[in-house]
């Protein structure tokens, strides 16, 4: 008869299993969405479109800041046409184009680097478990 597999009963294993459960992921998503809604309600970003940038943040600094925010929003799957319209409305066609292109490059870099880190961890785990050697041996 087959012996039952021994389950690791360490505290870190239980915590990891709990944190990676679907309910934990769902609750994290709900918390992140609530934080985003709170941020929008507190900072009122629509004022940027109606009143423009604050006077202390103008010119090249505003374009660079918008480009970084554009890149982060692109990596967070915010639709780019909305961001392009905001760039044009805030800075005009020339500076808006520069900030949108720079933001696209930043977002692409973030999107390219993020899965590489996740895949590397998964590959290390897989190779440590010996699955690579079993596949090549057959």
In a domain, 3, yes or no: no
Position 132 in a domain = yes
The pLDDT assigned to 99 comes to 94
Together in a domain, 108 and 128: yes
Domain with 84 in it: 57-138
Q: Are residues 15 and 63 in the same domain?
A: no
The predicted structure's pLDDT at residue 62: 87
Q: Residues 114-133: pLDDT tens digits? A: 776 666 777 777 777 666 55
The CB density around residue 66, as the number of other CB atoms within 10 Å, is 25
Tell me the average pLDDT across 83-104: 92
Q: Are residues 35 and 71 in the same domain?
A: no
Q: Please, are residues 100 and 84 in contact by the beta-carbon 8 Å criterion?
A: yes
Verify that 61 and 113 share a domain, yes or no: yes
Could you report the per-residue pLDDT of 53-86, keeping only the tens digit for each? Answer: 677 777 888 899 999 999 998 888 889 999 999 9
Please tell me whether residues 121 and 84 are part of one structural domain. yes
Q: Are residues 87 and 136 in the same domain?
A: yes
Domain count, the chain: 2
If you search the block for the tokens 């929003």, which residue do you land on?
73
Q: Are residues 38 and 66 in the same domain?
A: no
Task: Note the pLDDT of residue 67.
Answer: 93
Structural domain includes residue 67: yes
């Amino acid at each position: 008869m087959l012996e039952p597999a021994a389950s690791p009963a360490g505290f870190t294993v239980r915590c990891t299993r709990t944190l990676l459960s679907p309910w934990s992921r769902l609750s994290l998503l709900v918390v992140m969405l609530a934080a985003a809604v709170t941020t929008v309600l507190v900072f009122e970003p629509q004022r940027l479109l109606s009143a423009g940038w604050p006077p202390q943040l103008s010119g090249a600094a505003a374009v660079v800041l918008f480009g970084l925010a554009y890149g982060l929003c692109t990596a967070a799957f915010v639709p780019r046409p909305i961001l392009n319209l905001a760039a044009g409305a805030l800075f005009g066609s020339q500076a808006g184009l520069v900030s949108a292109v720079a933001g696209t490059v930043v977002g692409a870099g973030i999107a390219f680097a993020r899965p590489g880190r996740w895949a590397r961890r998964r590959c290390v785990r897989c190779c440590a478990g010996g699955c690579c050697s079993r596949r090549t041996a057959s």
